[in-house]
A and B are shown apart, each in its own frame.
Chain A
Amino acid sequence: GESVGLHLPTLSVQEGDNSIINCAYSNSASDYFIWYKQESGKGPQFIIDIRSNMDKRQGQRVTVLLNKTVKHLSLQIAATQPGDSAVYFCAGVIIQGAQKLVFGQGTRLTINP
């Protein structure tokens, strides 16, 4: 079956630095990936998505890179701010009769002042 996992459970960066959060997936059943941000006590919040026919997509201060060869994607956050502190999840969309999201375990991003 499909699995999605993150490389590091925690990541600490200095305020103003760039953050890179990594994610790997196990097979090619997913052709659509989404990054979510989850703040304490809240539900996941959509950040950015990418389809398998793309290798890069940019949003406001965020960039997602997809490497299908090694089944890896990353989320880059530019000039991290205190408000970026949260748990970040990557999720792959599986199409097997219905659309389902399979989540990785999450990376907790801490911003140091």
Chain B
Amino acid sequence: NAGVTQTPKFRVLKTGQSMTLLCAQDMNHEYMYWYRQDPGMGLRLIHYSVGEGTTAKGEVPDGYNVSRLKKQNFLLGLESAAPSQTSVYFCASSYNILSGNTIYFGEGSWLTVV
């Protein structure tokens, strides 16, 4: 059971470069999320999706774009990377949380922008 898989796990980018983080889940979850985690801070929501073909902004969406073309995949894009985007990125997925279903997190993607 793979659960939530993120790729790549580590990446170093130069300022201005673009990249895409891929999140894949094999649990048929409707909800998917992208969070970032900075040192000494909790996770902050970047974007989320409530189903295939839908996306919405979270708490810190600037500088990021997302797409949910397939139910199992949620892509996070950085069009022009900035050093402020150096962080650990976590993807998560869930069914209806309020029905008692757990939200599952991936193992994280470490991104450094130099």
The yes or no answer to A102 lying at the interface (CB within 8 A) is yes
The tally of residues in B whose CB lies under 8 Å from a CB in A reads: 29
Please indicate the chain B residues that have their CB under 8 angstroms from the CB of A104 in the complex: 42
A91 CA to B42 CA in the complex, in Å? Answer: 9
Q: Convert B20-62 into 0s and 1s, putting 1 for each residue whose CB lies closer than 8 angstroms to a CB of A.
A: 0000000000010101000011111100101000001011000
Contact A41 B108, CB 8 Å, known A98-B50, A101-B33: yes
How many A-B contacts if CB must be within 8 Å? Answer: 64
What bracket does the count of chain A residues touching chain B fall in? 20 to 34
Q: Convert A9-36 into 0s and 1s, putting 1 for each residue whose CB lies closer than 8 angstroms to a CB of B.
A: 1000000000000000000000010100
Please indicate the chain B residues that have their CB under 8 angstroms from the CB of A106 in the complex: 40-42
The yes or no answer to A7 lying at the interface (CB within 8 A) is no
The yes or no answer to B15 lying at the interface (CB within 8 A) is no
Q: Cβ of A98 and Cβ of B98 under 8 Å apart?
A: no
The yes or no answer to B74 lying at the interface (CB within 8 A) is no
Contact A105 B40, CB 8 Å, known A43-B107, A46-B103, A98-B31: yes
Please indicate the chain A residues that have their CB under 8 angstroms from the CB of B58 in the complex: 100
Please indicate the chain B residues that have their CB under 8 angstroms from the CB of A44 in the complex: 43, 90, 105
Q: Cβ of A99 and Cβ of B97 under 8 Å apart?
A: yes
Q: Cβ of A45 and Cβ of B56 under 8 Å apart?
A: no
A19 CA to B19 CA in the complex, in Å? Answer: 42
Q: Cβ of B43 and Cβ of A99 under 8 Å apart?
A: no
Please indicate the chain A residues that have their CB under 8 angstroms from the CB of B105 in the complex: 43-45
* Cβ-neighbour of B97 out of A9, A45, A93, A105 (below 8 A): A93
* Cβ-neighbour of A102 out of B4, B45, B108 (below 8 A): B45
The yes or no answer to B102 lying at the interface (CB within 8 A) is yes
Q: Could you list which residues of chain B lie within 8 angstroms of chain A, going by C-beta atoms?
A: 4, 31, 33, 35, 40-45, 48, 50, 56, 58-59, 90, 92, 94, 96-98, 100, 102-108
Q: Could you list which residues of chain A lie within 8 angstroms of chain B, going by C-beta atoms?
A: 4, 9, 32, 34, 41-46, 49, 89, 91, 93, 95, 97-106
